[in-house]
Chains A and B, each alone.
Chain A
C-alpha cells in the first residue's frame, strides 16, 4: 500500500476526485494537521446528499412494491399485465462516465420522488378510509334483516323506541313484558335476535337494565335509510375508494420506467456522499486543499499519472505505508482463493503486512468440507447449483463469495464421496445391485461399513488430518517468528510443538492398529508406538523446560515451565475437536442410508409407489444436503478460527475499501 498526499486547488478538486473514483483503487483517509490550514467541518453538502439519497431509496422501494402488487393483480385483471415484465431486482453494469453524470437528471427524478411520496400518502389515506368503511359495514350488517329505516326509531314525549340486537337469552322477553312494551321481532336466526322496542320513558332505566343484563345492545345509528340501503351506499363508497386507489397505483406504475434512473441516481449520490465525507477530512486554506488516501502499490504510479494529466496545478507525494498509520490490507487477486478470504475476514481481517492465511485456510477448508459432506451426489448437486446461481442470478459481494465457496468446496465432496463410495447415500455395491453388477462398497473405505472397520478408519483419518492442520498452524507461526528474526522463540515455542504433534501423528497411526484393531491399516503401524511417545515426550518436555526462559528468577522459570503441562491438555482438546468431522460425516451418511431405506420401502408399492418414492428421494435428500452443508460450513469455519488461527494469526486489521466500491444497484465499469 502507498500513501497518497495531494495538494491542489479547490476549484479543481471535483475533477481530481472523479479520476480517483474511476480508478476504483483509492481509499481516502483523514488528513494530518498542517500548519496554516484548517479542517473542513461543513457537513451541509453531505446532509443534503444523504437526504436526496433517502428520497431515491424510498422511490425505488415504493415502485418495486407497486410492481410486485401489479404482478399479483395481473392474474385477475389484464390492465396490469404490461407491468409484469418490469424487472425490479438485479444489478447492471454501468460505465463510470454515466455514473458520474447521473446528477443531470437529479432534479426531474427528485420531483418524481416527491410525487411518489404524495401518492404514498394518498394510498395510505385510502387504505385507512377503506378499513373504517369495512368496519362500519360490519356494524351495519348486524341489522341487515331490519326493513325499517334507522331514523324511524325515534323518541316522543312519553315513549322511546329503540332497535336492539343480541343473542338469544332465556327470560329476556318475559322480563320485557313485565312492563308496558311493544316488541317487533325482525330476525330470529340461530341465536341472533333483532328487536324493535317501544316503551314508556318512565321505564327507561328498567329497560336499559334488562337489555344490559341479557347482553343486548341498542343501535346508535340514526340514518334516514334502512340498514340494507345504508350498506349498499357504503359499498358504493368502497368502489369509489377502489377506483381512487387504482388510479394512484397506475400513476405509481407509470414511474416504473424510471426505476433504472432512480437506481443510477441512488448509487451516484452514494459516491457523492463518500466524496463529501472524504472532504470533511481535508485540511484547507482559502484556495487549496490537502487530500490524503491509500493506493495499492502496483497501481499507484499509474493513478498518480492520470491525476497529473487532468491539471498541472497540483503537487503529489507518494510514500510507502507505515504500519503505525493503520493502513488497510488488500489481498492479491486470485479467483480461486477469493471466496475463501471471507472466512478469515469474518474472524478478523489481517493486519497490514501480516501473513495471508488465505491459501492454507482454502486448502484445509476445501479438504474438511469434502470430508464433512462425504457424498459425491451431494457434491455434484452443490457444484452445479452454484454454477447456475453464478451464471443466471449474477450475485455480488458476500453472497457471491459464499456461493463460489460452496461450489468450489463441493468438488472436494465429490472426491471424498467417490473414495467413500457414497452417491446420494448409496454405496457402490448397492448401486451395482440396481444394475445387476457386483462391486465393492467403496474405492477406499465406506464409513458405514462396520464389518470392515469403516467408522474406525473415518475417526483415525479425521484425527490425522486434524493433527496435520494443527501442525500447519505451528509451522506458519514458526515461519512468522523466523521472519521477525525471533529464531529462538520459533524453535522453542513452535519447533517443539511440531515435534510433539509429529509424535501425536505417530501415536494415532499406532492407535488404529494397536488399540482399535482396524484391519484395513497395515500391521506394521505398531512400530510407531515408541517413536510417537518419544517425540511427544521430547516436544512437551522441551516446552516445559524452555517456557520459562524469559522469566527472571528460578521460581518464575519453574512456574512458567509447569504451565507448559497445560500444552498437553491443549493438544488433547485440539486433536479431539476434529472428531467432529467423524461425527458429522457419519451422521450425514447414516441419515442418507435411513432415507434410502424408507424410499426403497415406498418404491416397492408398485408404479404409484415409484412416483412417490422419486418425490420423497428429491425432498429428503435435499433436506439432508441442506443440513449437511450448514454443518459442514459452520463446523469447518470453527475449526479454522479456533484450532488453526489460534496458533499463528493475529488479525485486527481492516480491509481496503476503495471510494465508490459499495454501490448497491450498479457495477461500475471503465
Chain B
C-alpha cells in the first residue's frame, strides 16, 4: 500500500506539468503574434516562452525520486506510513508548480510584449519572468528533501 500512496504522490508532483503546459502555450501564442511583425526576435521569445517549463522539470525530478525511494524501481518497498508521507510531501511542488507556472506564463507574455515594443529589454523581461520561479524552487526543495528524508 505504501508504494500505491507513493505513486499517487508522483502523479501529484508531475501535475506541475499542467501549469507548465498552460504557461508555455500562452506564451507561445504571444510569441507567434510578435513574430508576425518582428521575426528577427525568434531566439529571444523562444527563451521567454520556455521559462514556465521549469516547474514540469522540477515535478519530474521529484516524481523520479519518489520512484527510486519507494522501491518501485527495485529495492525494498516502503511502509504505508512512508508512502503516505511521500504522497503528502509531493503536494507543494504539485500545487505551487501548477499555479506558479501559469503565473510565470502571464509574466512571460508581458515580457514578450515588452521586447516587441522596445529593443534591448530582453534581460529585464527574463529577470522579471524568472522571479516568479523562486516560489516553485522553494516548493521543489521542500518536496525533494521531504521525499529523501521520508525514505530514510
Do A and B interact? yes
A645 to B134, CA, bound (A): 18
- B126, A642: Cβ atoms under 8 Å? yes
Nearest CB on B from A67, distance (A): 24
Closest A residue, CB atoms, query B56: A583
Across the interface, A584 reaches (CB within 8 A) one of B44, B47, B57, namely B57
Distance of A559 Cα from B73 Cα, bound (Å):
50
State whether A580 touches B57 (Cβ < 8 A): yes
State whether the Cβ of B58 lies closer than 8 Å to any Cβ in chain A: yes
* Choice from B58, B68, B130, B134 contacting A583 with Cβ under 8 Å: B58
Contacts of B133 in A (CB 8 A): 573
Could you say which residues of chain A place their CB within 8 Å of the CB of B140?
A: 576, 579
Chain A residue contacts of B54, Cβ below 8 A: 577, 580
Q: By DSSP majority rule, is chain B's interface helix, strand, loop, or mixed?
A: helix
Given contacts A455-B65, A583-B58, 8 further A-B contacts (CB under 8 A): A346-B47, A348-B122, A450-B74, A569-B134, A572-B141, A577-B137, A638-B51, A645-B123
CA of A613 to CA of B97 in the docked complex: distance in angstroms? 38
Complex Cα gap A576–B55 (Å) = 12
Cα A637 to Cα B123 in complex, Å, equals 12
B-side residues, CB < 8 A to A, are 43-44, 46-47, 50-51, 54, 57-58, 60-61, 64-65, 68, 73-74, 120, 122-123, 126-127, 130, 133-134, 137, 140-141, 148
Query: How many chain A residues have a CB neighbour from B under 8 Å?
Result: 32
Complex: chain B residue closest to A633, CB-CB: B46
Check if A34 is an interface residue, CB within 8 A of chain B.
no
> Once the chains bind, are B57 and A638 in contact (CB under 8 Å)?
no
A586 to B126, CA, bound (A): 26
Closest chain-B Cβ to A623's Cβ sits at a distance in Å of 18
Q: How far is the CB of A143 from chain B (nearest CB, A)?
A: 46
A634 touches B50 (CB 8 A): yes
Q: For the complex, what is the distance from the CA of A455 to the CA of B140, rounded to whole Å? A: 17
Report chain B residues within 8 Å CB of A587: 57, 60
A572 touches B137 (CB 8 A): yes
Assess whether A634 is in contact with B47, with CB atoms less than 8 Å apart: yes
Are the C-beta atoms of B74 and A573 separated by less than 8 Å? no
CB <8 Å contact, B123 and A515: no
**Are B137 and A641 touching (Cβ within 8 A)?**
no
Nearest to B122 among chain A residues (CB) is A347
Evaluate contact between A637 and B47: CB separation under 8 angstroms.
yes
Asked if A451 and B74 make an inter-chain contact with CB atoms under 8 angstroms apart, the answer reads: yes
A31 at the interface (CB under 8 A from B): no
Residues of B within 8 A of A348 (CB): 120, 122-123
Our pick among B44, B47, B120, B127 for the contact of A652 (Cβ within 8 Å) is: B120
Which residues in window 441-490 of A have CB below 8 A to B?
450-451, 455, 459
- The residue in chain B whose Cβ has the minimal distance to the Cβ of A349 is B120
Contacts of B46 in A (CB 8 A): 634
Chain B residues within 8 Å of A631, by CB:
50
* Chain B residues, CB < 8 A from A646: 127
> Quick one: which of A516, A576, A584 has the most chain B CB within 10 A?
A576
Collect the chain A residues with CB atoms within 8 Å of residue B123's CB: 347-348, 641, 645, 651
Query: Nearest Cβ distance between residue B45 and chain A, in whole angstroms?
Result: 11
Hey, which chain A residues are within 8 Å of B68, CB to CB? 450, 455
Which chain B residue shows the least CB distance to A456?
A: B68
- Cβ-closest chain A residue relative to B59: A583
Q: In the bound complex, do residue A516 and residue B148 qualify as a contact, i.e. CB atoms below 8 Å apart?
A: yes
Q: Which 5 A-B pairs have the closest CB atoms?
A: A583-B57, A634-B50, A573-B137, A450-B73, A583-B61
In the complex, chain A residues whose CB is within 8 Å of the CB of B47: 346, 634, 637-638, 641
The answer to whether B127 touches A576 (Cβ under 8 A) is no
CB-contacts of A625-665 with B (<8 A): 631, 634-635, 637-638, 641-642, 645-646, 651-652
Interface centre among B47, B122, B148 (most CB of A within 10 A): B47
Q: How far is the CA of A569 from the CA of B135 in the complex (A)?
A: 11
B58 near A579: Cβ-Cβ < 8 Å: yes
Chain B residues with Cβ under 8 A from A364's Cβ? none
Contact of B43 among A346, A569, A651 (CB under 8 A): A346
Q: Name the CB-closest residue of B to A516.
A: B148
Contact of A515 among B44, B51, B148 (CB under 8 A): B148
Which of A516, A569, A642 has most B Cβ within 10 Å?
A: A642
A340 to B4, CA, bound (A): 47
- Within the complex, what minimum Cβ distance (angstroms) separates A368 from chain B? 14
B120 surroundings in chain A (CB, below 8 A): 348, 652
A582 within 8 A of B: yes
Min CB distance, A565 to chain B, in Å?
14
